[in-house]
Amino acid sequence: MLVCVLGLMLLSGAGVASASVRNYWVAAVPVTWNVVPNGHDAMTGTNYSTTDTVFPTIVYRRYTAHWRRVLPNQPSAGGNQNLIPGPLIQARVGDTILVHFLNRDRLYDRVHSMHFHGVHYAPSSDGAYIPGFSGRGASVKPGQSFTYRLRAGSDSVGVWPYHDHSQSMEDSIAGGMYGMLSILGRHERAPDREFEVVFAPQGQFQTIDDRAFVGNTPVFTAFTGQTVQWDVMAMGSEHHTFHVHGHRWIGADGVPRDTQTVGPAESFAIRWREQDPGTWLYHCHVETHMMAGMIGIYQVKRRRS
Amino acid sequence: MLVCVLGLMLLSGAGVASASVRNYWVAAVPVTWNVVPNGHDAMTGTNYSTTDTVFPTIVYRRYTAHWRRVLPNQPSAGGNQNLIPGPLIQARVGDTILVHFLNRDRLYDRVHSMHFHGVHYAPSSDGAYIPGFSGRGASVKPGQSFTYRLRAGSDSVGVWPYHDHSQSMEDSIAGGMYGMLSILGRHERAPDREFEVVFAPQGQFQTIDDRAFVGNTPVFTAFTGQTVQWDVMAMGSEHHTFHVHGHRWIGADGVPRDTQTVGPAESFAIRWREQDPGTWLYHCHVETHMMAGMIGIYQVKRRRS
Amino acid sequence: MLVCVLGLMLLSGAGVASASVRNYWVAAVPVTWNVVPNGHDAMTGTNYSTTDTVFPTIVYRRYTAHWRRVLPNQPSAGGNQNLIPGPLIQARVGDTILVHFLNRDRLYDRVHSMHFHGVHYAPSSDGAYIPGFSGRGASVKPGQSFTYRLRAGSDSVGVWPYHDHSQSMEDSIAGGMYGMLSILGRHERAPDREFEVVFAPQGQFQTIDDRAFVGNTPVFTAFTGQTVQWDVMAMGSEHHTFHVHGHRWIGADGVPRDTQTVGPAESFAIRWREQDPGTWLYHCHVETHMMAGMIGIYQVKRRRS
C-alpha cells in the first residue's frame, strides 16, 4: 500500500522524464462551498451573508490509488484552493494518462463524466453524451467508475480544460466540476511556480477558481528570478480578458501583451521570469466581472540572498 | 445556352488553375425556413412546435447564368443545407469574381445588397449603405440587379463572410442573408472536404447554418486520410468559441488548439488530415449557446481499403 | 517659460530619436460632453434630443508644463476629438515617461488615478487601488497631483490603454477617463497618420471615442501612398470586432484579416500603406453595437501629384 502510493506519486510527478503511464484517481464528491469565505469585498467594503455565498455542490477531488485517501487537487506550489478547480492533471508528451473516475454524487444522484480537451483518445474516452452513440464513459452512474485512457501527443503541449460533459453538464459546470490538464514537452523544463486561473460565474458573482473578491480569490506568490506560469481558462457563457498588473508576455502575434481574451473552454499558458517585486493585481478586465469579484492578488518578493 | 452553363461551371470550379474570371449568379429570394425541422432537442428531449420554429424569410440562392435555374448553394462535399448560408463563393488568388445579384424580395419588398469581406473592390462594389456616398450596389431595389466586381489578391487567401449591408441589414442578417467566400492560393491544393459553420442567433435559438440542435444542424462526414477544412464564421452580436471533440489544429500562436473564439464577422479556416474515426460533437462552447442549439455531429469513418 | 514649453514639445515629439525623458502634463477636469453632437443617426434617420446625449463628466486633458495651458489631446494628424480619449502618450523604447497628473475634479470631488498598460513601473506608479497596499498614486485627491514614472522597454512596443484605477474607476471609465500610449521601437519609422479608435459604451449608446453615429464619430482621412496606423482598444464590459471596409491587415496568425476581436483593455495597432481611394466605413461588427452608434467614416483621397 505504501509502495503503491509512492509509485503513484512518482508516476504523477511532472519532473520524471522517463515516466510513460500516469494514473490519476478522481472522484466526484459532494461538498459545501463558500464563494466569499470572508464575507467581504475589500475594494468596495460591501458585505455578503452566507445565505448568498454558501451552497452544496459536487466537485472533482483527487485521491490516492483506488480512492483510498484524499490528495490535494493542486501541487503545493500553486497557491490554489484544493477543491475547485479539480485535480491538475500533469503529464509530458508521449505519456499515457489513465484517469480513474468514481462518481460519488450522493447529493443529487446524477450521472457525471470527464471530458478532456487537448489530449488524444478513442470515442469511448470522449466523456461526452451523444444520444444514440455515446457509451458508459459519458454517463457514469452514482457508485460506478470509469477509466479514461488519454494520450499526450506532440500537439498536446500546453494547458487544457476538462469538465463534466454528461447529461448533467449544465448544472455540474455551474457547480464547479472543471479542472485543467498541463502538458509539458518531453524534455521541457517545468516552471518554478504554476498558477491556475479559471474564470467562471457563480450565482451573482464572477469568480476565479470559484472564489470572489480580493481576500478570497487565490493569492499567488513568487520570488524574483523564478519562472512563473499562469494557466488560464474560462468556463460558462462569457468572454473575459485576463490582465496582470506590471507584467507582460508575448502574445499570439509575437508582440508583447498584458491583457488577453479567453472565451468558454479556451485556455492558454503564459510564462515569464519574475523580476518585478511588489503586490500586484491580476483580474478579468471586463469591468462588470471585476466588480463582481473576478480579481486577486499576486505577491512577488525579492529572492533571499 | 448549354455552352454558357458549362462555361460557368468550369469557371466556378475551384480546381481549375487557369481560370481568371469566375461568375456567380445569386438572387435574394423568399423562402419558408424551419430552424428545428425535426422539432426536437435530442440532448434534453425537449420538443418544439412549428409555431416557434417556422418563419418566412429572405435568403441568398445560387443560380445558373441569368438566374435561369437554381443550383445548390454548397458543393456536394460539404453536407450543408442548401439555403442558409448563401452560395459558397470559391476562387483563387489572381481571380476576378463577378457576383451578379438579383433582388427578388417580393416578401418584404426591401432593398438588399451584398458586402464582401476579404477581397478587393472599388467603393462602387462595397455594397454598404453610406448616406450621401453609396451608390446603387448598396441599395438594390426589388426587381433590380447589380454586378459586384471583386478581385482575390494574395491577401485574400482564407475564408470570409459576406452579408447584406443595405439599409435592411439588421433584418436581413437576422433572417439568414449571409454566406462565405473561400479563397485558395494560386496553386494551393483544395481540401477533400470543406464544411461551412456559421454561428448566428435565430429568435430564441442559437444556430449553426440557421439550424438548431443535434439532428437538425449539418452532419459533416469524412473518411480517415482525407484533408478536411472547416470554414468558421459568426454573424450577429455575440462572441462564440468553436470546439471539435477529439481533434485539434494549430492556433494563431503556433501552438495546438481545440477551441477558438470567433466574434461577429470574424472568420477562420482550419485544416487537418483526418485520422480519428468515430462520431464526434462539434459545437460552440459558450454553454448557453450550446444548450440553445449550437451543436452538431461530425462522423469520421475508416477509409475503405 | 517659452523655452520650457518648447523643450516639452521637443521631448514629446515621437520623431526625436535621441529623446530619453518625455514629460506629459495631464489633469482630470470637468467638462460637458455630447455623445451625439448633431443629434442624428444618419443611417436610420433617428433623432436624439440633448436630454439623452449631453451630460457632465470628468476627462483627462493635456496641458503645457505645470498645467498652465491646455494642449490638444491628439496630434493634429489623427482626426480625433480633443477631450475623449485622453492625451495620446507617445514614446520610444528606452524612454522614461513622466506623467504629471493633477486631479481637478471639482464636479464629483472624487479621488482619481492613472493606471498604464504596457510600460514598466514600480508598484508606487501602478495607479491601482489595492486595500492595505496601494499608495498615494492610486488615490489622488482633488487639488493634489502625482507623477507616474514609467519606462518603455523593448516589450512595450505597440499601443496600450491607460485609465482611472482608483476607487472611482467604475464611474470614471463610464465617463470617459481613458486614453492610449503609443510606443515605437527605438528607430522605428512613425506612421504618416495615426488614428485612435476606442470602443466603449456610453449610456444607451455604443461609441467610438465617446461619440455615436456617422457624422459624430471621428472622420479619419488619408492620402494614397501614406502609411496609416489604427490604434484600437476597448473599455467597459463587452467584446467587439473592429472592421474596416475595403482594407485588410496581417492578423495574429500571419494570414490577412479585416475583422478582429478586441475585449476590454485589449489593444492592437494595425498598419497599412494606403492605396484604396474612396469613402469607407469603419465600425464594430457586433450588430447591436453598430446600430447603437459604433460606426464611422474613413476617407482616402488620391495623393495630389
pLDDT tens-place values along chain A, 305 residues long: 222 223 333 334 444 456 599 999 999 999 999 999 999 999 999 999 999 999 999 999 999 999 999 999 998 756 666 899 999 999 999 999 999 999 999 999 999 999 999 999 999 999 999 988 999 999 999 999 999 999 999 999 999 999 999 999 999 999 999 999 999 999 999 999 999 999 999 999 999 999 999 999 999 999 999 999 999 999 999 999 999 999 999 876 777 899 999 999 999 999 999 999 999 999 999 999 999 999 999 999 998 75
Contacts of C227 (CB under 8 A, 6+ apart): C189, C191, C192, C193, C271, C272, C273, C274
Mean pLDDT of chain B: 92
Question: Over 90: is that where the pLDDT of B38 sits?
Answer: yes
Residues in chain C: 305
Question: Over 50: is that where the pLDDT of B4 sits?
Answer: no
* A285:C264 CB<8 A: yes
Q: What is the mean pLDDT of residues C105-126?
A: 97
* A259:C267 CB<8 A: yes
Determine the residue among B134, B155, B232, B249 to mutate to test chain C binding: the one whose Cβ has the most chain C Cβ atoms within 10 Å.
B155
Which residues from A are below 8 Å from B when comparing CB atoms? 115, 117-118, 120-123, 126, 128-133, 155-158, 160-161, 167, 169-170, 173, 235-239, 251-253, 261, 263-268
Which residues from B are below 8 Å from A when comparing CB atoms? 42-44, 214, 239-241, 243, 245-246, 248, 250-253, 255-256, 258-261, 276, 278-281, 285-289, 291, 297
Residues of C in contact with A285 (CB under 8 A): 263-266
Instruction: Give residue C18's pLDDT.
Output: 61
Instruction: Give residue A11's pLDDT.
Output: 37
pLDDT band at B130 (very low <50, low <70, confident <90, very high): very high
* C266:A259 CB<8 A: yes
Mean pLDDT of chain C: 92
Across the interface, of A241, A258, A297, the residue whose CB is closest to C118 is A258
* B264:C287 CB<8 A: yes
Across the interface, of A246, A251, A287, the residue whose CB is closest to C123 is A246
- The CA distances from residue C147 to A66, B166, C95, C100, in Å, are 60, 50, 16, 4
Residues of B in contact with C245 (CB under 8 A): 115, 126, 128
Residue type, C150: L
Residues of A in contact with C238 (CB under 8 A): 286
Which residues from A are below 8 Å from C when comparing CB atoms? 42-44, 214, 239-241, 243, 245-246, 248, 250-253, 255-256, 258-261, 276, 278-281, 285-289, 291, 297
**CA-CA distance, A78 to A85, in Å (whole number)?**
12
Encode pLDDT of C292-303 as tens digits.
999 999 999 998
What 8-state DSSP symbol labels residue C224? T
* A297:C268 CB<8 A: no
| Cβ atoms A206, A288 nearer than 8 A | yes
What letters, b where the CB count within 10 A reaches 16 and e where it falls short, cover A118-132? bbbbebebbbbbbee
Q: What is the mean pLDDT of residues B33-60?
A: 96
Question: Over 60: is that where the pLDDT of B161 sits?
Answer: yes
Chain B CA closest to residue C262: B263
- The CA distances from residue B92 to B123, B250, C198, in Å, are 22, 23, 36
Contacts of B68 (CB under 8 A, 6+ apart): none
Only one residue has cell 493585481, namely A281
Looking at the DSSP bridge assignments, the partners of residue A271 are A229
**CA-CA distance, C45 to B111, in Å (whole number)?**
16
Closest CA to B200 of B289, B87, B81, B114: B289
Residues of C in contact with A279 (CB under 8 A): 123, 130, 133
Across the interface, of A245, A250, A287, the residue whose CB is closest to C128 is A245
**CA-CA distance, C68 to C1, in Å (whole number)?**
10
- The CA distances from residue B267 to B184, B211, B216, C261, in Å, are 15, 19, 23, 11
Determine the residue among A111, A129, A133, A188 to mutate to test chain B binding: the one whose Cβ has the most chain B Cβ atoms within 10 Å.
A133
Contacts of B159 (CB under 8 A, 6+ apart): B118, B180, B181, B182, B183, B231, B232, B233, B267, B268, B269
Instruction: Give residue C14's pLDDT.
Output: 42
User: Nearest 5°: phi and psi at B204?
Assistant: -80, -5
Q: What is the mean pLDDT of residues C84-113?
A: 97
What's the grid cell of residue A202? 457563480
* C246:B133 CB<8 A: no
DSSP B70-105: B--SS-GGG---SSSS---EEEETT-EEEEEEEE--
DSSP A115-172: EESSSB--GGG-----TTT--GGGSBPTT-EEEEEEE--GGG-EEEEEE--STTHHHH
Residues of C in contact with A287 (CB under 8 A): 169-170, 173, 235-237, 264
Across the interface, of C240, C252, C255, the residue whose CB is closest to B158 is C255
Residues of A in contact with B43 (CB under 8 A): 129, 131, 167
Determine the residue among C41, C199, C248 to mutate to test chain B binding: the one whose Cβ has the most chain B Cβ atoms within 10 Å.
C248
Question: Over 60: is that where the pLDDT of C11 sits?
Answer: no
What's the grid cell of residue B89? 463563393
Which residues from C are below 8 Å from A when comparing CB atoms? 115, 117-118, 120-123, 126, 128-133, 155-158, 160-161, 167, 169-170, 173, 235-239, 251-253, 261, 263-268
Instruction: Give residue A126's pLDDT.
Output: 98
Instruction: Give residue C250's pLDDT.
Output: 86
How much is the ipTM here?
0.92
Residues of A in contact with C130 (CB under 8 A): 214, 279, 281, 297
Min Cα–Cα distance to chain C from A267, Å? 16
Q: Are strands C54-63 and C96-103 parallel, antiparallel or unpaired?
A: unpaired
Which residues from C are below 8 Å from B when comparing CB atoms? 42-44, 214, 239-241, 243, 245-246, 248, 250-253, 255-256, 258-261, 276, 278-281, 285-289, 291, 297
* B43:A251 CB<8 A: no
pLDDT band at C78 (very low <50, low <70, confident <90, very high): low
Residues of B in contact with C239 (CB under 8 A): 239, 263
Closest CA to A288 of A217, A170, A206, A202: A206
Please state which of the ranges A46-50, B266-270, C251-255 shows the lowest mean pLDDT.
C251-255
Determine the residue among C258, C268, C288 to mutate to test chain B binding: the one whose Cβ has the most chain B Cβ atoms within 10 Å.
C258
**CA-CA distance, C175 to C29, in Å (whole number)?**
12
Across the interface, of B279, B286, B289, the residue whose CB is closest to A133 is B279
Across the interface, of B243, B250, B286, the residue whose CB is closest to A237 is B286
Q: What is the mean pLDDT of residues C89-108?
A: 97
Instruction: Give residue C91's pLDDT.
Output: 97
Give the neighbours of chain A: at least 3 Cβ pairs within 8 Å.
B, C
Instruction: Give residue C40's pLDDT.
Output: 96
Residues of A in contact with B246 (CB under 8 A): 120-121, 123, 126
Instruction: Give residue B215's pLDDT.
Output: 93
Min Cα–Cα distance to chain C from A85, Å? 25
What's the grid cell of residue A113? 463524466
Q: Kindly state the helix (H) or strand (E) to which residue C50 belongs, with its residue range.
A: helix C50-53
pLDDT band at C46 (very low <50, low <70, confident <90, very high): very high
Question: Over 50: is that where the pLDDT of B261 sits?
Answer: yes
Only one residue has cell 475503405, namely B304
Provide the Cα torsion A101, A104, A108, A112; round to 10°. Answer: 10
Please state which of the ranges A210-224, B161-175, C10-24 shows the lowest mean pLDDT.
C10-24
Instruction: Give residue A305's pLDDT.
Output: 59
Give the neighbours of chain B: at least 3 Cβ pairs within 8 Å.
A, C
Instruction: Give residue B14's pLDDT.
Output: 42
Percent of chain B exceeding pLDDT 70 equals: 91
Residues of B in contact with A265 (CB under 8 A): 241, 243, 259, 285
